[in-house]
Every structure is written in structure tokens, then in C-alpha cells.
Chains A and B, each alone.
Chain A
Amino acid sequence: MELKEFKIEVLPLRGKMSGLARKILSDPTDAEDAVQEVMMKLWDKRQQLDDCRNVEAFVMTMTHHTCIDMERVKKTGAMSTDDLQLADTGNSVDQLYELKDEVEIIRHIIDTLPELQRNTIRMKDIEGYENEEIAEITGSNVETVRSNLSRARKKVKTIYLMTIKKRNNI
């Protein structure tokens, strides 16, 4: 499935996905994040979608699971996934500074980013899509994409600098 089919088959389901997400997640911002995350996962799996008999059922199931996961994370931490990630940062620095190769450190940091941020950075920095294209694929607006991208990049930089600092002090 390429962009054209994706637009025809998946994007129109966005309204339905948002409806489901809002039912599960009380916070509308979280619901929007969840839908975007699912859209990116779907774009990532677009090759597999060709073999999918019922795309709508597949999409709705994925939305449901993603929302349930987000709700679970929220309940356990009672804070946003961003804060949770920052609390995690200490841990990841502890494991990372032992890595010799700086590029490997970057890889680990990106792997531990929240899914939405990781997928956004992947689409922009690795797959080479423009913000407008990402917004189109995820059915969101350019400003949301830019802000997710910015959060992701700043976080990678912060964690990386902390890791290097710790390594140099030893």
C-alpha cells in the first residue's frame, strides 16, 4: 500500500479512531496523541495492510490497544508520558555511558523515546519525509508534527549530553 491507497483506505477512518480514543482516554490531548501514534504505526506497516482482509477492523483494534496501553501508563504513574520518560532518563544514562560508540548511544536513546516521538523522528530524519507529508499521513496538522519532532530531538540531545558528561567524569 502506498500513499495513494493509504489516503483512500486508512485516513478516512481517522474520525472513527478519534471517537474510540476519546471514549477510552479522558484527556482529548492524549486521545489525539494516541490516534497519531496509531497512524504512524499503520504507515510503518503499510506493506502488511495489503494482506489485511478487513482494514477497518485491524485499524480499530490497533487504536483500542494503543489507548488501553496509554491509559495503563497514565494510571500507574499519574503523570504524562513525557515526565515518565524524564524520570527514566536517569536509568538509561546509567546503562548508556558504558557504551563506547557514540552512534550506538544515539541509537539506544532513540529506541527508548515514547513511540509517537520515535516514529516522528524516524519519518523525518531517516525516511526523509517533510513535516507536511507526515501531517498528511497521520491526518494531523503540521504544527503538531513540528512540536513532536522538536520534543523528540531536544530529548535525544539532552540525554546524549548527560550520558557523555557522566562518561567523562569517570
Chain B
Amino acid sequence: MKKVKNIKVLLDKYLEGETSHTEELELRRFFATAKHLPEEIAAYKPLFAYFDKEAMTERQPHSSRKLYFRYTWSAIAASIFLFLSIAGYTGYSHQNKDYVIINGEKSTDVRLAKEQARKAFAEVSFSKEDIADDLIPQDMKETVQ
């Protein structure tokens, strides 16, 4: 009963805007746990319940700011990872870029590759006459002769 009397004094101070934040927390705690409130102060229960609820969600903006930074760091980490993987990949292919495929098989044997190349060029090489045949149309060739 004495407690209720104290609370009433605090409530009067509260209505005048004279309570400190600590005193207001005390009021909130009282109304959050109190049962069987006298009628004249029962109206304050939802009021302080509302403030309690809002104060809880109020912390959201701060955490969202932190979250924003966390995303920034994740973004930086992801970019570094991406850069390293691309660098690693291209570096890797640099070391192994000198190879040929002979009959469907990968080979790094230089001698074999040269020999195969020479053979292939021999097959497609042609004489000067062949080139003239290709370049000059048939009817023109007759007039030239």
C-alpha cells in the first residue's frame, strides 16, 4: 500500500514533466508487474506498456546502422575474394597456356607439336598456279593470255 502511495506521488511528478528517466523506468517497472491496480491509476498501465514496447523497437535504427556497416565489410571481403579468385585463375592459366591438342589429347611436347604442325601445313600448302587460279576469274585469265 505504501508502494502505491509512492507511485501516486511519482505519477503527479510525471504529469508535471518533472520525473527523471530513472524514475520513469521505476514507474514502467511497477505498471508492468502490478496486478489489481486501484482504479484511479489503472489508466497508466497501457501508457507505460506502450512506452516499454516502443523503447524496445527504438533500438532498431542503431542496429540497422551496424548492419549497414556489416554489409559494407561483407562487400569488401567479397570483392577481395573475387579479385583473388580471378587473379588466381588467370595466373593459373598463364602457366599452362602452352599446350596443343593432338588427336583430341592435350600435349605439351614441343617437338611433337612442331612435327604435327609441319605436317599439317604441308597438306594445305599450294603452288603459285593454284593461287592464280583462285584469284583471277576464268574468263579474265583467257584475255590475259
Chain A residue at minimum C-beta to C-beta distance from B62: A47
Contact of A107 among B16, B17, B43, B50 (CB under 8 A): B50
Question: Is B18 an interface residue when CB atoms closer than 8 A count as contact?
Answer: yes
Chain B residue at minimum C-beta to C-beta distance from A102: B46
Q: Determine if A153 and B46 form an interchain contact, defined as CB atoms under 8 angstroms apart.
A: no
Query: Within the assembled complex, what's the spacing in Å between the Cα atoms of A36 and B48?
Result: 25
Task: Other than A124-B24, A127-B55, give 17 A-B pairs with Cβ distance below 8 A.
Answer: A102-B46, A103-B50, A105-B46, A106-B46, A124-B17, A124-B21, A125-B51, A126-B58, A130-B21, A131-B17, A146-B18, A153-B14, A153-B15, A153-B17, A154-B15, A157-B47, A160-B43
Please report the number of residue pairs spanning A and B whose Cβ atoms sit closer than 8 angstroms.
60
Can you spell out 13 A-B residue pairs with CB atoms less than 8 angstroms apart?
A: A103-B53, A106-B49, A124-B24, A125-B24, A125-B51, A125-B54, A126-B54, A127-B55, A130-B21, A150-B17, A160-B43, A160-B47, A164-B43
Q: Which residues in chain A, 122-166, are within 8 Å of chain B measured between CB atoms?
A: 124-131, 145-150, 153-154, 156-157, 160-161, 164
Question: Is A40 an interface residue when CB atoms closer than 8 A count as contact?
Answer: no
Q: Determine if B50 and A106 form an interchain contact, defined as CB atoms under 8 angstroms apart.
A: yes
Question: Is B20 an interface residue when CB atoms closer than 8 A count as contact?
Answer: yes
A130-B21, A150-B15, A153-B17 are known contacts. Are A103 and B49 too (CB-CB below 8 A)? Answer: yes
Query: Within the assembled complex, what's the spacing in Å between the Cα atoms of A26 and B46?
Result: 40
- A5 to B: closest C-beta gap in Å: 15
Q: Which residues of B contact A125 (CB under 8 A)?
A: 24, 51, 54-55
Q: Which residues of A contact B54 (CB under 8 A)?
A: 125-126
Q: Determine if A110 and B16 form an interchain contact, defined as CB atoms under 8 angstroms apart.
A: no
Query: Within the assembled complex, what's the spacing in Å between the Cα atoms of A153 and B14?
Result: 8
Q: Which residues of B contact A128 (CB under 8 A)?
A: 21, 55
User: Which of the four size classes fits the interface of chain A?
Assistant: 20 to 34
Q: Which residues of A contact B17 (CB under 8 A)?
A: 124, 131, 145-150, 153
A103-B46, A146-B16 are known contacts. Are A129 and B51 too (CB-CB below 8 A)? Answer: no
Chain A residue at minimum C-beta to C-beta distance from B18: A146
Q: Which residues of B contact A127 (CB under 8 A)?
A: 55, 58
Q: Which residues in chain B, 1-54, are within 8 Å of chain A measured between CB atoms?
A: 14-18, 20-21, 24, 43-47, 49-51, 53-54
Q: Determine if A47 and B61 form an interchain contact, defined as CB atoms under 8 angstroms apart.
A: yes
- B16 to A: closest C-beta gap in Å: 5
Q: Which residues of B contact A47 (CB under 8 A)?
A: 61, 65
Q: Which residues of A contact B55 (CB under 8 A)?
A: 125-128
- B22 to A: closest C-beta gap in Å: 9
Q: Which residues of B contact A105 (CB under 8 A)?
A: 46
Q: Determine if A150 and B50 form an interchain contact, defined as CB atoms under 8 angstroms apart.
A: no
Q: Which residues of A contact B45 (CB under 8 A)?
A: 102
Query: Within the assembled complex, what's the spacing in Å between the Cα atoms of A63 and B21?
Result: 30
Query: Within the assembled complex, what's the spacing in Å between the Cα atoms of A124 and B24?
Result: 9
